[in-house]
Structure 1
Amino acid sequence: MPKIRARLLAALVVLCAAVTATGAPPAAASPPGSLWFDGTPLTVADGRLVDGTGREIVLRGYNVSGETKLEENAGLPFASVADARRSATALRALGGGNAVRFLLSWAHAEPARGQVDTGYLAAVTDQMRAFLDAGIRVYPDFHQDLYSRYLFDEGSWYTGDGAPEWAVAAGGYPEESCGICFFWGQNITQNKAVRQAQYDFWHNAHGLQDAFLATAQTTMAYVEQHLGDAEFAGVVGFDPYNEPYAGSHDSGQTSRAWEKDLLWPFYQRFRARMDAAGWQDKPAFVEPNLFWNANIDSQKQEGGLLDAGTLGARYVFNTHFYDQKAISGILMWGKAADGQYTSDFGAVRDRAAAAGTPAVVSEFGHPLSGTVSDKAPTVVKAMYQALDSRVPGANWWSKPASSGPVLSGTQWQWDIYSGRHHEPMNGNTGKVLTSGDAWNDEDLSAVRLDDTGTVTPRQDARLLDRLYPSATSGATAAFTYEDRSRDGSTTLTWNPVPASLPNVAQLVGSGRYGLLVWRSGGGSAPTELHLPASFPASATTVVSDLGTVHAPPEYTTSTPVAVAAEPGGTGSRRLLLTDSDAGVLHYALVTDGASAPSSALLGAARSELSAWAAARF
C-alpha cells in the first residue's frame, strides 16, 4: 500500500504540473496552506530544503520534548493526546513554530529484545499527529543521553535515557561514577560505564546496533502505515541518533577517523532502513561527533562528517549548539552581545555547504534558572540572530550579501510540564523530582502550564515568536530580524537602521523589523514570512519593490502583499509576497514601528531601500 500511495501521489504531482503548463490557473490561486501542506514531502535540492513548488523552506520550532527522557509518562512526550494538541496549538500560536523535533524512546519502543511495543508506537504516532494537524512539520529523533538510565542506580547523582534495560544488561558494565563532576555532561567523557556502553554500541557488541536498527525500521514503518498520506507528507525526515560520541577510540584512532569508520557507516545502515520502511523520499538528519563545533577549545574535536563526501539529497547536516562557556559560569563573564555566535553558526553553514546539503541546528538554548540564567535573554537572542544571518547586526546593513542561508533550528525545549513533574529519579521513590525539567537539574523549557492549565511563555514572547521566512520562492540572499527582545527592563537593539536610511529609520522607529532580500525563482507559490502574534495585520507595515502597504489585506491572487492564516487553524498568521518573475532581486521590509505612516514616508522608504539593494547585491 505505501508504494501504491507514493505512485499515485507522484502521478498527481505530474498531472498538476502538466495542467499548470497548459495555462490553467496555478496552484497558488487558492491561499497556500488552505491544506496544511502542499501534499508533497520536503526534499533536498541544490543544498536546500524545498517543498513541492520548489520554494526554499526554513524550519523553526522546538524539541518536543524532554518529557520523553522521563518515566512518569512511560517515555511519551505527553501524558495524553489532548495534552499534545494543547501543546501543538500553543507552539504554533505562541512560539511561532512550524516544525518540531519529536523525541522517541528506544527503551520503550523495544522493552524486551526483539519485541517492539506497538502500544507505544500507536501512542507516539497519535501524539505526532496532533502536531501535524496543527500544520507543524515533524522530524522524529530516537533520543539518548549518557546512553541509558539503566546504567545508573537509585542513589546516583545523575541519570540517562535511551537504551533499554536488556541492552545494558548485555554489556555487564562497571559501577557508574563521574568522579568530581559539576555538570551532567561530564559523564560523557569521564564516566567509565557510559563510555564503555557507547563504545559497545558503535562496535555493534552483543548485536546492539543491529537491534536498534531493526526497531527503528519497525517504528518508521508503523508511522508510515498509520498516518494518512497528507499527514506523512508533513514528516520531514528522521534524526537517527542524538549527540553521537565514540565513548573511547580504538588505538591510534582520531575523532575524525571514528566518524569515518563507525559513525558514517551507521548512518548509511540507518538510511537503508529508512528506505525499507517507506521513507525513501525523506532525508536522514545526521549529526556529527558531539564535540566537533564545541566553543571550548579543550572540548573541540576534529569532525563534521568530513570524509562522508557530498551528502546530497539523502541527508541533512544536523548539529547542536550550546554556549558551554556561558553555561560554565566561569569561562564567560557578562552577557552575550551582538554577533556572539555568528562565527560558530557560520561554521555550520560552511560545513553544510561543503557537504552539498542544508543544515539544521536541532538543539540550542540556555538554562532559565540557576546561577547562569541571567545570561539567557542575551544568549538565546544571539543564537537566533546567528540562525538568521552570519553577519553581526553592527555590519549587516553594510554587508548584507554575506548573510548566508537562513538556518533551520529547533530550540531546546517545549515542555508544558515544566516545574510540574513527578519523576522518581532512577526509580527512587524517595527522590521524586518536580522542578524544572526533572532531569539532571536542567531547566530549559520555553513554556509551562500556569495554574489555570494555560500554556504560558517563560521567555520574552518577542524572542520566541519571531518573524522569519518560512518559504521563499527562489533563493534567500539576506535576512535579518531585530526583535527588540528584553533583558529585564533593557530593550536589546543590536541591529539599528543606519542613519544613511533616514526614512526607513523613521518608519521603523523603536519598533521591530525584519528585512528579507531574495532572488525570485519564477514559481507559482508566494514567499511566506511567519508573522508573530504580536504583529497583527492592522499594525504591520510592508515596504517592498512589490508594493508598499500599511495593514496588509487578506490574500487574493491579485494582491502581491497580503496576509493569510497559517495552516492548522491555530490563529497564527503569515505574510504572503507574490511575484511572477524569475531571477529578479526582491526585498521586503516588515515592521510594526509606525501606527499610520503616510504614503509619502512609505514612498521615500521604498526609494531608499531600492537604492540600498541595488548597491549591495
Structure 2
Amino acid sequence: MMLARRPLVAVGTTAALVVLQALIDPTGLLVLAGWPGGAPQAQLWWPLARYVVFLPVLFVVVWWCAVRAGARFWTMTAGVTLAILLAQAATAFAMTGDPLFAGWAASYVAAKAVPSALIVAGVTRIAAGPRTLELRTPENLCADCGRLHKLPRKARRLPLRETGIVWPYAVLLGAIAPLAAGTWWTTVVYTEWVPAPRIDHGAFAVISGMVLLAGFAYLSMRWMRRRVDGALAIWLGALVAGGMLGIVQGAVAIVVDNGFDGDIWGLMATYTFVAEGLSFGAAVGWIPAVAMWTADRIRARRAAKTPEDVETPDQAPRSAARTAVLTAVAAFAVIAVATGGVTAVRAATRPTTTALDVPAGFLRADGDMITDGSGNQVLLRGVNVNQLVDFYQPRASVPATRPLTEADFTAMASYGFNVVRLGISWSSLEPARGEYSQAYLDRIAQAVAWAKAHGIRVVIDMHQDGWSNIAATDADVCRPGTDPMWGYDGAPVWATVSDGAPRCEFQGRDISPAGDRAFEHFYFDTDGIQTALVKAWGVVADQFKGDPAVAGYDLLNEPGFGETAPVTTSQQLGRFYDRAISEIRSVGSPQMIFLEPSILWSGLGFDTGPRPGFTSDSNLVFSPHLYAESITMDRGLGLPPFVSIERQFELATRTADQYGVPLWSGEYGYWGDSADVQQRLVRFADQEDARVLGSAYWVWKQACGDPQNGIGPTGNGLIPQSCTTGDDVAPNMDLLSVLSRAYPQTAPGRVHTLHAESSNPYSTTAPWTKMTMSGSTSTRSCDLAVWIPGITKPTVTSTGVTDTALTQVSGGWRYTGCAEGKYSVTTG
C-alpha cells in the first residue's frame, strides 16, 4: 500500500500545484502550465501541445520517479525536476520537430522546475512517509546473482540493475557532450576559459568541460545508484551532474568575466549555466541510462543460463564499458540521424535566398563592420523617428504623433547624425488585408528623400509595441495583479488574433495575455498572418530597392515572446526572419537586414535569439536594444542591475560575433528623469567609442499624446514638446552634447581606436569636440570624413592623412582627407 500511495501523492500534488499556479498567475508565463484566458483553439496544434503533451509526460514521469526515487526527499526533488524538464522538452519537440532544440528549450523552465520539485517532494515525503531501505553497496548488490534466474522477474529486477559500476556511464555522458554543444553551449554567457564542450572555444574549454561533466556524473551517479532503483539512477545522476557543471561554470565566469563588476551578472550567468546543465542532463541522460539498462539485461541473461556464466567483480566493469561504448555508438547514430533529418527538412522547406551583389553606393555588412563597398568603414549614428507610427491615442484631443517635416532632418544633420531609424506601422501600410496604402508608402518615401537631401541614411523599422494599437475595453476582465492597458502600435486589427484573451498588462505592456496570444498566432502563422507581414515587407522593399539612402530594413521591433519562449523567440523568430529576408531579396532589394532579438533582451539585458545558420543570407546586422540600467526589469522592480551598460555591450558583441555580423544598437537611452541620466549616457558613449560602433538614440520627438509618453507637462524626446502650447521647447542639450560628439562618419579601411570627450568637462552642454582616432587601410582612400560639433573652428592634427580640408557645415565642421596605411586624427 505504501508503494502505491507514494506515486499517487506525488502525482496528486503535482496536479494540484499546476491548477493552483494557473489560478494565481494571470499571465500563464510564470507557471508550469498556465491558462491566461481566451477561447481554446482545438483546430490548432500549438495551443494544445502545452497541455496534451506537457501534462501527460509530466504526470507519467513523476509517477515513475515516485516509485523508483520517492523514498528520499532529495532524490524525489531530482525526479520531479527531471519530469518537468522532460515535459517541456517533449512539448517543444511536438511544436518544432527539432530534438536538440527541444532539449535545450527545457532550460527555460528551470526556474519553475526546481521550486515546484521541492514542493512536490516535500509534500510526498510528509504525506507518503519514508521507505526504509538498506543502503546498497557493491558487496550486497549482487551477492548471489547465479540463483536469480530461479526467482520471479519482479523479485530479481532490483539487484540485477544495481551492479555498482558507474564510471563507464559517466564517461559516456562526458563523451557525447560535444555532439550537442551547438545547442546547449552557444549562449552569451560563455566566455573564454569557461569550461564547456563548445568546439569553437578551443581545446581547453572542450576538454575541461568534458572531464568535469564526467567527473560530476561519476559522483552523482554513484550516489544515486545507492539510493534509487533501476536505470533512473543514471538518468538522475546525469541531471545532477549537469547542474554541478553549471555551478562550476558560474564560479569560473565570476572570476574571468568580472561577474560582480557593477551588476549581478555573476548570479544571472550562474543561473543560466545551471539551467542549461540541468536541461542537458535531462535531455541526454537517457543515453547512459539505456547503456546501464542494456548491461543489466545482458548480465541477467547470462545469469539465467547458468551460475557459472555470472561475471566476476573484475569482469563487470569491462562488460559495462563495452556496453557503454556500444550504446554510445548507437546514440551517436540516433542523434546524427535525427539532427540530419531535421536539417534536411529545414533545407527542403526553407525559401531559397537569391544571392545579390550589393551595387555601388549601397552600404553592406562586411564581417564585423558596416562598409560602403569601397574599402571604407561607416559609422551610423543618429536617432529614432517615430512620427510616422500609427500610435493609439489615449486622449482624443491630444495628437499621438508630431508632424514629420524636412526641418526635422535639417536639425538632425546639424547635430552630426547620419542615420535615422524610421519607424513605420503595418497597420497603416496594410489597413485591409492585401490592400497596401500608396499614400502611406509615399509618406515613407518623402521622409527618405528628405533624409537623403541632408546626407542621412534611413533604416526602415517595422515598429510595434504590445503587438497592436488595440486598447482594453469594458469587456476585458483583468485578473488580480493585472491592469487594463492602453493600446500602443503595430499590427492591423485584421492581423490581431487574441482568442478573447484579456487586454490586460502585468508589469508593463509586454506581458499581456492578449498580446502574448496574438504573437503566438503570428509565430505559428495562423490564417497566414506571418505570411501577410512577409509579403508586406516585399512591398516596402520593392519601393526602395534602388535607393542607397535606405541603409536597411529592421524586420520587427522588439519581437514579443508569445506564450512558449524559446520556441517563439528562437526557432519561430528565426523562421520569420528567414522568410522575410527571402521575400525582400526576391524583389531585388540588396539592403542590409537588421535583426533584433526578442523583447527579453530589452527587459533583461540579454537573451538568446535565432540560432546561427537560421538564414543563408549574409548581409545582416545584429541590432539589439541596449537598455541596460534603463527600462530593464531590474530597475522597474528596484533591484540591482542584472546587466550593467558596460556588460551589455560585451554580451551584444559576443552574440554578433556568433552570427559573424556587425553590431548596431537600434535603440537605447530612455533613462527617465533621474539626475544621473547624462552620467549613464556618457558611459554608453565611452563603450560605443571604444568598440567603434554606431546606434540610434530613442527618440527624436515624442508627442504629448503618445501612449509611451504618459501624461505630463512635456512630450519626451531630444526635442521636447510643451503639452500646454503644443510647440517645441528647448532641446535637451545635456543629451545632445554627448550624442553629437565628434566621430568619423566614414573612415578608410578600419578604425582601431576611437575616443571623444567634452571640450569643457564642467559643463553638461559644452560640445564634445575633442576626439582621437586611429585606423589603417591597405589601399589609398580619400573618403575620410570626420564630424566635429560646435561653431568655433577646431584644431585638427593628423598623421598619415593628406589632402585635408576643414569645412564648416550646419552645426559644426567636416574634416576630410586621404589616408593610406596607418593614420590618426586628433581634434580639440
SS of the aligned residue for 1:149 comes to coil
Which residue does 1:275 correspond to in 2?
585
**What code does the residue aligned with 1:287 have?**
E
- Within the candidate set 693, 716, 720, 1:407 is matched to 693
SS of the aligned residue for 1:215 comes to helix
- Within the candidate set 113, 125, 130, 2:433 is matched to 113
SS of the aligned residue for 1:100 comes to strand
Q: Is the 8 A contact 2:682 2:738 kept in 1?
A: yes
- Within the candidate set 636, 642, 658, 1:354 is matched to 658
CA distance in 2, matches of 1:266, 1:97: 31
- Within the candidate set 549, 552, 571, 1:261 is matched to 571
Q: Is the 8 A contact 2:602 2:627 kept in 1?
A: no
Which residue does 1:53 correspond to in 2?
374
Matched, 1:164 2:479: no
SS of the aligned residue for 1:166 comes to helix
The alpha-carbon deviation at position 234 of structure 1 amounts to 1.1
The alpha-carbon deviation at position 407 of structure 1 amounts to 1.1
Question: What's the TM-score once normalised by structure 1's chain length?
Answer: 0.66
The alpha-carbon deviation at position 122 of structure 1 amounts to 1.3
| Structure with higher strand content | 1
User: Which residues in structure 2 correspond to 1:466-505 (within 5 Å)?
Assistant: 466-483=741-758
Give the 3 Å change call, closer, same or farther, for CA 459–158 of structure 1 in structure 2.
farther
| Structure with higher helix content | 2
The alpha-carbon deviation at position 446 of structure 1 amounts to 1.1
Which residue does 2:416 correspond to in 1?
96
User: Which residues in structure 2 correspond to 1:166-185 (within 5 Å)?
Assistant: 166-168=494-496, 170-179=497-506, 181=507, 184=508
CA distance in 2, matches of 1:341, 1:571: 29
Q: Is the 8 A contact 2:720 2:731 kept in 1?
A: yes
CA distance in 2, matches of 1:314, 1:511: 33
Give the 3 Å change call, closer, same or farther, for CA 376–41 of structure 1 in structure 2.
same
Which residue does 2:623 correspond to in 1?
318
Q: Which deviations, in whole Å up to 9, do the C-alpha atoms of 1:476-499 show, x marking residues without a partner?
A: 11111113677xx76699xxxxxx
Q: Which deviations, in whole Å up to 9, do the C-alpha atoms of 1:279-313 show, x marking residues without a partner?
A: 1x2121011223247556xxx54x14343379773
CA distance in 2, matches of 1:159, 1:233: 35
CA distance in 1, matches of 2:420, 2:742: 17
CA distance in 2, matches of 1:454, 1:435: 12
The alpha-carbon deviation at position 432 of structure 1 amounts to 10
Give the 3 Å change call, closer, same or farther, for CA 572–384 of structure 1 in structure 2.
same
Which residue does 1:573 correspond to in 2?
813
Matched, 1:286 2:286: no
Q: Which deviations, in whole Å up to 9, do the C-alpha atoms of 1:47-87 show, x marking residues without a partner?
A: 321114220001000001266142579xx99765xx42010
SS of the aligned residue for 1:68 comes to coil
User: Which residues in structure 2 correspond to 1:599-614 (within 5 Å)?
Assistant: none
- Within the candidate set 352, 363, 369, 2:667 is matched to 363
The alpha-carbon deviation at position 346 of structure 1 amounts to 2.0
CA distance in 2, matches of 1:135, 1:492: 25
The alpha-carbon deviation at position 121 of structure 1 amounts to 1.3
Which residue does 1:238 correspond to in 2?
553
Which residue does 1:209 correspond to in 2?
530
The alpha-carbon deviation at position 266 of structure 1 amounts to 0.8
Give the 3 Å change call, closer, same or farther, for CA 67–375 of structure 1 in structure 2.
farther
Q: Is the 8 A contact 2:737 2:764 kept in 1?
A: no
The alpha-carbon deviation at position 217 of structure 1 amounts to 1.3
SS of the aligned residue for 1:348 comes to helix
Which residue does 1:561 correspond to in 2?
804
Which residue does 1:42 correspond to in 2?
363
Q: Is the 8 A contact 2:420 2:696 kept in 1?
A: yes
Which residue does 2:405 correspond to in 1?
84
User: Which residues in structure 2 correspond to 1:427-438 (within 5 Å)?
Assistant: 435-437=713-715
The alpha-carbon deviation at position 470 of structure 1 amounts to 1.0
Q: Is the 8 A contact 2:560 2:569 kept in 1?
A: no
Q: Percent identity?
A: 22
CA distance in 1, matches of 2:648, 2:460: 25
Q: Is the 8 A contact 1:312 1:357 kept in 2?
A: no
SS of the aligned residue for 1:103 comes to strand
Q: Is the 8 A contact 1:479 1:517 kept in 2?
A: yes
Matched, 1:447 2:719: yes
Q: Is the 8 A contact 2:389 2:424 kept in 1?
A: yes
Matched, 1:457 2:731: yes
Aligned length: 457
Matched, 1:247 2:575: no
The alpha-carbon deviation at position 316 of structure 1 amounts to 0.9
CA distance in 2, matches of 1:206, 1:218: 20
SS of the aligned residue for 2:551 comes to coil
CA distance in 2, matches of 1:413, 1:484: 25
The alpha-carbon deviation at position 325 of structure 1 amounts to 6.0
Question: What's the TM-score once normalised by structure 2's chain length?
Answer: 0.50
CA distance in 1, matches of 2:536, 2:519: 18
SS of the aligned residue for 1:574 comes to strand
Which residue does 2:195 correspond to in 1?
none
SS of the aligned residue for 1:236 comes to strand
Which residue does 1:147 correspond to in 2?
467
The alpha-carbon deviation at position 459 of structure 1 amounts to 3.5
Which residue does 2:215 correspond to in 1?
none
Give the 3 Å change call, closer, same or farther, for CA 100–167 of structure 1 in structure 2.
same
Which residue does 1:392 correspond to in 2?
none
CA distance in 1, matches of 2:750, 2:488: 42
Which residue does 2:60 correspond to in 1?
none
Runs of at least 5 residues in structure 1 that lack an aligned partner in the other structure: 1-5, 14-39, 390-403, 438-442, 494-509, 548-558, 592-617
Which residue does 2:178 correspond to in 1?
none
Which residue does 1:542 correspond to in 2?
796
The alpha-carbon deviation at position 238 of structure 1 amounts to 0.2
Give the 3 Å change call, closer, same or farther, for CA 310–214 of structure 1 in structure 2.
closer
CA distance in 1, matches of 2:498, 2:760: 49
**What code does the residue aligned with 2:628 have?**
D
Q: Which deviations, in whole Å up to 9, do the C-alpha atoms of 1:586-617 show, x marking residues without a partner?
A: 222211xxxxxxxxxxxxxxxxxxxxxxxxxx
CA distance in 1, matches of 2:424, 2:636: 32
Q: Which deviations, in whole Å up to 9, do the C-alpha atoms of 1:231-254 show, x marking residues without a partner?
A: x111111000011132111xxxx6
> Higher relative CO (CA 8 A, sep ≥ 6), structure 1 or 2?
1
**What code does the residue aligned with 1:589 have?**
T
Q: Is the 8 A contact 2:392 2:488 kept in 1?
A: no
CA distance in 2, matches of 1:65, 1:485: 32
Q: Is the 8 A contact 1:545 1:587 kept in 2?
A: yes
Which residue does 2:822 correspond to in 1?
585
**What code does the residue aligned with 1:118 have?**
Q
Give the 3 Å change call, closer, same or farther, for CA 433–325 of structure 1 in structure 2.
closer
Which residue does 2:788 correspond to in 1?
531
Greater C-alpha radius of gyration: 2
Which residue does 2:510 correspond to in 1?
188
* Cα RMSD after superposing both structures: 3.6
Q: Which deviations, in whole Å up to 9, do the C-alpha atoms of 1:536-565 show, x marking residues without a partner?
A: 3x2x12232247xxxxxxxxxxx5432236
Q: Which deviations, in whole Å up to 9, do the C-alpha atoms of 1:363-409 show, x marking residues without a partner?
A: 0012444xxx32211122211221111xxxxxxxxxxxxxx4x1110
SS of the aligned residue for 1:313 comes to coil
Q: Is the 8 A contact 2:392 2:487 kept in 1?
A: no
**What code does the residue aligned with 1:353 have?**
D
CA distance in 2, matches of 1:116, 1:492: 45
CA distance in 2, matches of 1:585, 1:66: 43
